[in-house]
C-alpha cells in the first residue's frame, strides 16, 4: 500500500535549477517539495549584480533575482522546507527513495538533485580562525566592514572580479590576487576592474598564509613562477576561487566524475539511477551559469514528468 505521505517529487536545492524544476513540476500538478538547503537561493544570492540574465535589461542583484524565482515558484504551489539532505537511499521496492535530512525521513517517487556547488576555501590552516574577522566569502554581506581599509580579493573568475569592483565602494584599495596570468572572467567585467583606480593586480601569486592576532592584518604571498615571497598588509581577504559540486549525499545512488560532478546521460538529466535526475551546477563542470542552470532545471522537470507518467502507464 502506498504511504499517503509519499512525495511525487523532492527537489534538492533552491537555486535557478531547483526552482525552475519546481515551477515546471508544480504546474504539472506534481506538488513538488523543495528542500532548500542551507542557503536558500543558492550561490547566486551573493552576486552583487547580475547583468546577463535574459529579461533583465538593468542589472539585478542575485538576491532579488532569486526572490523573484521564489515568488514565481510559490505562486504555483510548490512547498518549501529549509532542510539539507544528508543521505538518499532506496526505499521499499526498488523505485521509492528515502531522503534523510537528519531531522526527518521523506519517501519520494522521484528526486531532482539541484544542490549546486559550494565555495572553495583557500585551504590554509589559519583561514577558519579568521572567518568573520577579516576573511569572507561574501562581498555583499561583509563589504561595509572594510570601509577605508585595504583588502585582497582572491580569484580570477567573474565572481572575484565583480566582488573586487563592488568592494571598491568601501575599501581604500582592492588587490586582486590570482594564481594564473590569465583570467576566466568575461571581458566586460575585466574592463570595469581595469578601469577602476582603486584596483591593483597581483599575478601570478597565491596566498600562503594569513597573518593577524584577533583579526587579519596581512598575508604572506608567494609568486607561483619565481617562488618569491612577500608580506603585504591588508585588513580583509575575500575568497572567490571557484566551487565544488555538492553531490556527497547522493554518491551511493548516482555516478559522479572524479571531481564529484554527477554524471547525466547526454542530452538529458537522467542519472545512473532511474527516478533520480540532476540539473544545474552539480552536474555542470563547464558552463556554470544561472541561465544554463534554469534551462537544465526545466529539462529535469520534463524528464521527471515523463518518468512518472511512464510508471503510471505500467501500473494501468
Partner 1 sequence: MLNTNLKHIETEQEVKEVLENNENVMICCGRMGPMCVPVFSVIEELEQTYPHVTFRDQDFDISAADFIRNLPECALFMGLPFTVYFKNGKVVAATSSIQSKNQVMEILDREFGKQS
Of 172, 215, 306, 309, which lies in the binding site for partner 1, with binding defined by CB under 8 A?
215
Of 80, 146, 250, 261, which lies in the binding site for partner 1, with binding defined by CB under 8 A?
146
Mark whether 142 is an active-site residue: yes
Give the C-alpha distances (Å, rounded to integers) separating 280 from 154, 225, 231.
25, 35, 39
| Number of H-type helices and E-type strands within the chain | 6, 17
Query: Considering the complex, what minimum distance in angstroms separates the CB of residue 8 from partner 1?
Result: 25
Nearer Cβ to partner 1 (43/273): 43
133 belongs to the binding site for partner 1 (CB under 8 A): yes
233 belongs to the binding site for partner 1 (CB under 8 A): no
Strand residue runs (E) in the chain: 7-12, 33-35, 79-81, 87-90, 97-100, 105-113, 117-119, 135-136, 150-154, 173-177, 199-202, 205-212, 216-223, 229-233, 236-239, 243-245, 276-278
Mark whether 316 is an active-site residue: no
63 vs 66: CA distance, rounded Å: 5
Which is catalytic among the residues 100, 142, 244, 298?
A: 142
Judged by CB under 8 A, the stretch of 139-147, 196-204, 220-228, 276-284 that binds partner 1 is: 139-147
Give the C-alpha distances (Å, rounded to integers) separating 238 from 64, 153, 163, 171.
22, 5, 8, 12
Nearer Cβ to partner 1 (16/236): 236
With H, G, I as helix, E, B as strand and everything else as coil, classify residue 67. Answer: helix
With H, G, I as helix, E, B as strand and everything else as coil, classify residue 35. Answer: strand
Query: Considering the complex, what minimum distance in angstroms separates the CB of residue 131 from partner 1?
Result: 5
Contact pattern from residue 168 through residue 207 relative to partner 1, giving x for each residue in contact according to CB under 8 A and a dash for the rest: ----------------------------------------
Q: Site for partner 1 (CB under 8 A): how many residues? A: 25
Contact pattern from residue 71 through residue 100 relative to partner 1, giving x for each residue in contact according to CB under 8 A and a dash for the rest: -----------x------------------
With H, G, I as helix, E, B as strand and everything else as coil, classify residue 87. Answer: strand
38 vs 295: CA distance, rounded Å: 23
Mark whether 138 is an active-site residue: yes
Which is catalytic among the residues 95, 100, 138, 298?
A: 138
Judged by CB under 8 A, the stretch of 14-22, 135-143, 277-285, 299-307 that binds partner 1 is: 135-143
20 belongs to the binding site for partner 1 (CB under 8 A): no
**Residues paired with 192 in a beta bridge:** none
Contact pattern from residue 37 through residue 66 relative to partner 1, giving x for each residue in contact according to CB under 8 A and a dash for the rest: -xxxx---xx----------------x---
Query: Considering the complex, what minimum distance in angstroms separates the CB of residue 102 from partner 1?
Result: 9
Give the C-alpha distances (Å, rounded to integers) separating 88 from 10, 32, 255, 299, 308.
11, 17, 13, 22, 19
Q: What is the DSSP letter of 79?
A: E
From the number of C-beta atoms within 10 Å of its C-beta (0-12, 13-18, 19+), residue 123 rates as: exposed
Q: What is the DSSP letter of 143?
A: G
User: What residue ranges bind partner 1 (CB under 8 A)?
Assistant: 38-41, 45-46, 63, 82, 103, 131-134, 136-138, 140-142, 145-146, 214-215, 235-236
The residues assigned a catalytic role are 138, 141-142
Amino acid at each position: 500500500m502506498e504511504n499517503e505521505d509519499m512525495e511525487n517529487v523532492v527537489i534538492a536545492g533552491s537555486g535557478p535549477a531547483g526552482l525552475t524544476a519546481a515551477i515546471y513540476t508544480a504546474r504539472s500538478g506534481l506538488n513538488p517539495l523543495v528542500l532548500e538547503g542551507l542557503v536558500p537561493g543558492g550561490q547566486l544570492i551573493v552576486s552583487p549584480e547580475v547583468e546577463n540574465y535574459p529579461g533583465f535589461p538593468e542589472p539585478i542583484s542575485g538576491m532579488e533575482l532569486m526572490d523573484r524565482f521564489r515568488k514565481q515558484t510559490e505562486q504555483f504551489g510548490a512547498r518549501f522546507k529549509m532542510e539539507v539532505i544528508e543521505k538518499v537511499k532506496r526505499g521499499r521496492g526498488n523505485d521509492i527513495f528515502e531522503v534523510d535530512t537528519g531531522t526527518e525521513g521523506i519517501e519520494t517517487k522521484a528526486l531532482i538533485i539541484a544542490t549546486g556547488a559550494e565555495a572553495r576555501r583557500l585551504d590554509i590552516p589559519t583561514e577558519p580562525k579568521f572567518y568573520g574577522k577579516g576573511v569572507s566569502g561574501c562581498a555583499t554581506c561583509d563589504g561595509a566592514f572594510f570601509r577605508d581599509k585595504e583588502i585582497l580579493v582572491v580569484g580570477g573568475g567573474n565572481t572575484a572580479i565583480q566582488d573586487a569592483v563592488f568592494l571598491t565602494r568601501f575599501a581604500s584599495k582592492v588587490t586582486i590576487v590570482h594564481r594564473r596570468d590569465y583570467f576566466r572572467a568575461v571581458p566586460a567585467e575585466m574592463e570595469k576592474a581595469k578601469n577602476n583606480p582603486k584596483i591593483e593586480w597581483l599575478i601570478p601569486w597565491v596566498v600562503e598564509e594569513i597573518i593577524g592576532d584577533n583579526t587579519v592584518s596581512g598575508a604572506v604571498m608567494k609568486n607561483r613562477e619565481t617562488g618569491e615571497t612577500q608580506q603585504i598588509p591588508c585588513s580583509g581577504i575575500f575568497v572567490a576561487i571557484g566551487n565544488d559540486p555538492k553531490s556527497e549525499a547522493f554518491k551511493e545512488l548516482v555516478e559522479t566524475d572524479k571531481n564529484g560532478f554527477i554524471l547525466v546521460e547526454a542530452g538529458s538529466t537522467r542519472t545512473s539511477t532511474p527516478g533520480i535526475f540532476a540539473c544545474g551546477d552539480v552536474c555542470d563542470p563547464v558552463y556554470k551559469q544561472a541561465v544554463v542552470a534554469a534551462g537544465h532545471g526545466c529539462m529535469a522537470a520534463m524528464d521527471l514528468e515523463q518518468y512518472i507518467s511512464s510508471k503510471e502507464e505500467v501500473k494501468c
